[in-house]
């Protein structure tokens, strides 16, 4: 099947790929080495393939690769973080024991990233609602909900003068 | 996923030209959250997908004061939920949108797409029936408004031809001082599941006159209004438990539930009674507490 040119911004950098018309964004990302994006159910149910497209969390198994032409796609690989450090959401997942087998974690982190942009001080109920499309078979969810709250607190701390540069990961 | 060609038109003119050229081999896509799964499962095998999501003019929600609200084919369910006018005017629809899939999929799934999938359990269809929504159906040279009961004619079946596109939904704004509503459904889990049974109840109030509407989903080949239930409600000034039971009886007579993987026919009959009571009770409570919200 002939391939088509696709140009979009991936994790802050413009990329030019060749993809088949029926390729999902999930397939295209993984075939090009972006393997944080996990292939789970491929039916939009598990959320393991969640990425952020133009500020909105999306399940990449239900997005055709050619749909992101000209758009901006963010995956865990592109989360802003100070050198040698994790993004505060990733750190919160580690600190709260919200990662067990880890397969669902990138999807949860990207859903959380988009969610906290619009809900900087979420309630437990809002968190449960926002994460309802991401499934985890290990943690029982409580540690994940705690991690989202911890991440929200970390992201809401004011930036101290002089620490803006590499520490400012928002 | 089976191979197909993808055409991403920039405007409706390009889309109509393509449909007229390849009408028997194309399917339309907007969000695609149903279509891509159907292609993956082999339920549809299109030669070409015409992707309407590339048409910017179909992204708008337009409020025409005193007349109605026009919703473009590409408007996602989350944009409906977040739209203050939609929330104020059509609360049962908002509740149905919030029940659909999950918070992430609703960034992609569209309202028009949910209608056009025409599945019996489509969450947004019962409230849209209550609000008497119409599909705006266009060809390259014509435009018509089609009430939803004339658009959806069977499970996954629509009455329109292969060269027509549902470009918008039109929801009329009735004269009312108050609009309240409720959507209640039974499903095995709250998110990411299809309805086993669903009931939408809406109430418009205008200068003391009340206009109840009632519709059900997942209980018959297509979602339907229950006119006998509405008649009982609209002819009764004091709605008590006995009236609610009469309404539930009217609903049971209007449905033909089946036994499938999500639930048995008997369960669906039983749970429908509860959903009718619950949605009606919510509607009445909200009418008391949200006076003047329209």
Q: Which domain holds residue B135?
A: 56-172
DSSP A1-61: --EEEEEEEETTEEEEEEEETT-BHHHHHHHTT-TTS--S-SSSSS-TTEEEETTEEEEGG
Instruction: State yes or no: pLDDT of A161 exceeds 70.
Output: no
Cα separation of B18 and B6, whole Å? 11
pLDDT of residue A77: 97
Percent of chain A predicted with pLDDT > 70: 92
Walking along chain B (294 residues) 10 residues at a time, the average pLDDT comes out as 95 96 88 96 95 98 96 98 95 97 97 97 97 98 98 97 96 92 91 89 94 97 97 94 96 96 94 97 91 54
Q: Considering the entire predicted model, what is its pTM?
A: 0.94
Q: Which residue has the tokens 């018509």?
A: B144
Chain B: nearest CA to A25, how far in angstroms?
12
pLDDT of residue A160: 53
Is there a contact between B7 and B49 (Cβ–Cβ < 8 Å)? yes
- Judgement on whether residues B268 and B221 belong to the same structural domain of the protein: yes
Average pLDDT of span A24-52:
97
Render pLDDT for A72-130 as a digit per residue (tens, 0 to 9).
999 999 999 989 999 999 999 999 999 999 999 999 999 999 999 999 999 999 999 99
Chain A, nearest residue to B4 by Cα = A22
Q: Which CATH class is domain A3-75?
A: alpha beta
pLDDT of residue A170: 56
ipTM above 0.90, yes or no: yes
Residue after which a domain boundary falls, among B143, B172, B201? B172
CB < 8 Å from A in window 152-211 of B: 190-192
Taking the CA of residue B272 as centre, how many other CA atoms within 13 Å lie in the half-sphere pointing to its CB? 30
Question: In the numeric block, which tokens belong to residue B252?
Answer: 């049971």
Q: Which residue has the tokens 């993004």?
A: A87
- Judgement on whether residues B188 and B276 belong to the same structural domain of the protein: yes
- Judgement on whether residues B38 and B75 belong to the same structural domain of the protein: no
- Which residues neighbour A87 within 8 Å (Cβ) at sequence distance 6 or greater? A79, A80, A81, A109, A113, A169
Taking CB atoms and an 8 Å limit, are A62 and B190 in contact across chains? no
Q: Look at residues A56, A34, A58, A170 and name the one whose alpha carbon lies nearest to residue A107.
A: A58
Domain assignment of residue B98, yes or no: yes
- Judgement on whether residues B209 and B156 belong to the same structural domain of the protein: no
CATH number of the domain within which B260 lies: 3.30.390.50
CATH number of the domain within which B152 lies: 3.30.465.10
CATH number of the domain within which B41 lies: 3.30.43.10
Topology of domain A88-160, per CATH? DNA polymerase; domain 1 (1.10.150)
Taking CB atoms and an 8 Å limit, are B107 and A111 in contact across chains? no
- Judgement on whether residues B67 and B46 belong to the same structural domain of the protein: no
Residue A132: list chain B partners with CB under 8 A: 102-103, 190-192
Domain boundaries, chain A: 3-75, 88-160
Domain assignment of residue B197, yes or no: yes
Residue after which a domain boundary falls, among B103, B137, B172? B172
């Amino acid at each position: 099947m002939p391939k088509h040119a696709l140009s979009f911004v991936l994790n802050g950098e413009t990329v030019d790929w060749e993809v088949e018309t029926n390729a999902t964004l999930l397939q295209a990302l993984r075939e090009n080495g972006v393997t944080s994006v996990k292939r789970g159910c491929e039916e939009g149910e598990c959320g393991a393939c969640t990425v952020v497209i133009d500020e909105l969390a999306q399940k990449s198994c239900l997005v055709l690769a050619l749909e992101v032409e000209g758009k901006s796609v963010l995956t865990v690989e592109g989360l802003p973080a100070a050198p040698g450090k994790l993004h505060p959401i990733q750190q919160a997942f580690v600190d709260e024991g919200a990662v067990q087998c880890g397969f669902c974690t990138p999807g949860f982190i990207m859903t959380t990233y988009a969610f906290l942009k619009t809900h900087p001080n979420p309630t437990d109920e809002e968190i449960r609602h926002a994460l309802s499309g991401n499934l985890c078979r290990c943690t029982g969810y409580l540690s994940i909900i705690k991690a989202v709250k911890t991440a929200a607190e970390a992201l809401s701390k004011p930036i101290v003068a002089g620490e803006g540069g590499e520490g400012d990961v928002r | 996923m089976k191979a197909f060609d993808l055409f991403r038109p920039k405007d409706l003119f390009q889309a109509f030209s393509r449909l007229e050229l390849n009408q028997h081999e194309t399917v339309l896509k907007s969000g695609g959250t149903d279509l891509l799964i159907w292609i993956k499962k082999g339920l549809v095998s299109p030669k070409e997908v015409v992707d309407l999501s590339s048409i910017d003019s179909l992204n708008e929600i337009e409020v025409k004061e005193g007349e109605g609200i026009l919703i473009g084919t590409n408007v996602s369910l989350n944009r409906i939920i977040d739209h203050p006018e939609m929330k104020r005017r059509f609360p049962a629809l908002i509740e149905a949108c919030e029940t659909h899939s999950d918070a992430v999929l609703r960034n992609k799934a569209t309202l028009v797409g949910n209608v056009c999938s025409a599945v019996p359990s489509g969450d947004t269809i019962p409230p849209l029936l209550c609000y008497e929504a119409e599909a705006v159906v266009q060809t390259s040279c014509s435009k018509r408004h089609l009430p939803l009961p004339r658009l959806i004619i069977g499970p996954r079946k629509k009455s329109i031809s292969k060269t027509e596109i549902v470009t918008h939904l039109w929801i009329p704004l009735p004269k009312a001082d108050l609009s309240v509503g409720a959507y209640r459904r039974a499903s095995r889990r709250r998110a990411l599941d299809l309805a086993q049974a669903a009931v939408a109840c809406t109430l418009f109030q205008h200068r003391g006159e009340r206009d109840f509407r009632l519709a059900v989903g997942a209980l018959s080949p297509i979602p339907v209004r229950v006119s006998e239930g509405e008649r009982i409600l609209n002819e009764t000034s004091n709605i008590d438990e006995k009236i609610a039971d009469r309404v539930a009886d009217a609903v049971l007579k209007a449905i033909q539930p089946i036994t499938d993987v999500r639930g048995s026919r008997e369960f669906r009959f039983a749970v429908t009674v509860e959903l009718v009571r619950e949605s009606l009770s919510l509607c009445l409570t909200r009418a008391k507490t949200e006076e003047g919200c329209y």
